[in-house]
Amino acid sequence: MIRLLFIGHLWPEPASSAAGYRTLALLKALCEHYQVHFACAAEQSEYCADLQAMNIQSHTITLNDSGFDQFIQQLKPDIVFYDRFISEEQFAPRVHEHCPEAINILDTQDLHFLRRARQSAVNKNQPVNLYSDDAVREIAAILRCDLSLIISSYEMSLLTNTFNISSELLHYCPFMLDTENPGEQPVPTYEQREHFVMIGNFLHPPNWDAVQWSYRAIWPKIREKLPEAQLHIYGAYPSEKVMQLHKPEQGFIIKGRADHALTTLSQYRVNLAPLRFGAGLKGKIVDGFLVKTPCVTTPIGQEGISDNQNWGGMVAGTADNSRQLADYAIQLYSEQSLWEQCSKNTTGIIEQQFNYREHADSLLNRLNALQNDLKTHRKHNFYGRILRHNLYRSQYYMSKWIEEKNRQNKT
């Protein structure tokens, strides 16, 4: 059986982040055709997924350590997935050294350089500058790999049209969801729901910015018109700074981790996602759509989910319009007919955009085509060959230098 190694940046925590359950869906699809191994250098937490139950063998690896060389030589994978470009930078030189014929796949999760450029623009009140050092690193990783998974249709277009990346190196792979049975129970109706909800890992900068911005500029405007309403904020890893915003008397309530995101989101009338920057797809919005919870968001939140369909909620004209976001939130919360139409729209978006079977089959077919003609594929990616030749050597020796430095520090 073909052996596949997935090198994770983190151990997947499906209840903590969109990246976590996206990775699990990807692993599920890969297990259909391959013997899957998952390796990670990060520490595991109590919230990690049970990979053994998926017949996936787990391995703990170490950064900048020759133990990985021995590991990769013994495993001899036919396909290697890198979770985010950082993992490709760290481990691909050693994979290339010992398994040069292995197919290299980069799962970008989202374009980190896009998210960081937008964050910098918000913080500095300047236009977005895409041509950063982050972009150089991430696009170089895309070129070095045989194929890169891109989660958003917007990011597919950005890479091909702005950065002239060949479509032969890219594969559109959004969230892969069970659209036939997203929830165990019928979801509550408009009358059965109340209050607003925000959800998302607090360690993720766009989420934390959205919470702070809501506290300062959006929630006071909503509360003025809806004095009995509350905003319940869920997220993994709330810090002391997060808890300082817990103000029950103002209806601004920090709830912490949501053990069951879908069940939690189904209880609320409106999902508030005032994202001023970000990239990829927003799991908090898609999760809400799975249980027919409409969302008020920004163009950043809508991006890649439903650009040409009726939105499951309302979208502000710009990412920084707190007044419009508040007005839309009040309107959607108060008008039952509008809410019911937006709630109905969510089903069509999920079924058309995120069907598990459709995207799993597309990915497996693409990998099969790569296996059948890898030499021709790599011949066409000449720039990738140049980058592999020049950069893998420098990265490899830098890693060996760090390894030796770490060894000397221990003695």
In the three-class reduction of DSSP (H, G, I as helix; E, B as strand; rest coil), residue 273 is classed as: strand
- Provide the phi-psi class of 387: left if phi over 0, else alpha when psi is between -120 and 50, else beta: alpha
pLDDT in tens, 373-399: 999 999 999 999 888 877 656 666 666
In the predicted structure, residue 308 carries a pLDDT above the cut 60: no
Return phi, psi of residue 115, to 5°.
-60, -45
Global pTM reads 0.91
pLDDT in tens, 310-345: 899 999 999 999 999 999 999 999 999 999 999 999
pLDDT in tens, 132-190: 999 999 999 999 999 999 999 999 999 999 999 999 999 999 999 987 655 556 899 99
Among residues of the chain, what percentage have pLDDT more than 90?
Answer: 82
DSSP 280-346: S--HHHHHHHHTT--EEE-HHHHTTT-SSS--SEEE-SSTT-HHHHHHHHHHHHH-HHHHHHHHHHH
CA atoms within 13 A on the CB side of 342: 26
> Residue holding tokens 């319009």?
321
Q: Which domains does the chain have, with CATH numbers?
A: 3-176+356-410 (3.40.50.2000), 196-353 (3.40.50.2000)
> Residue holding tokens 């659209």?
179
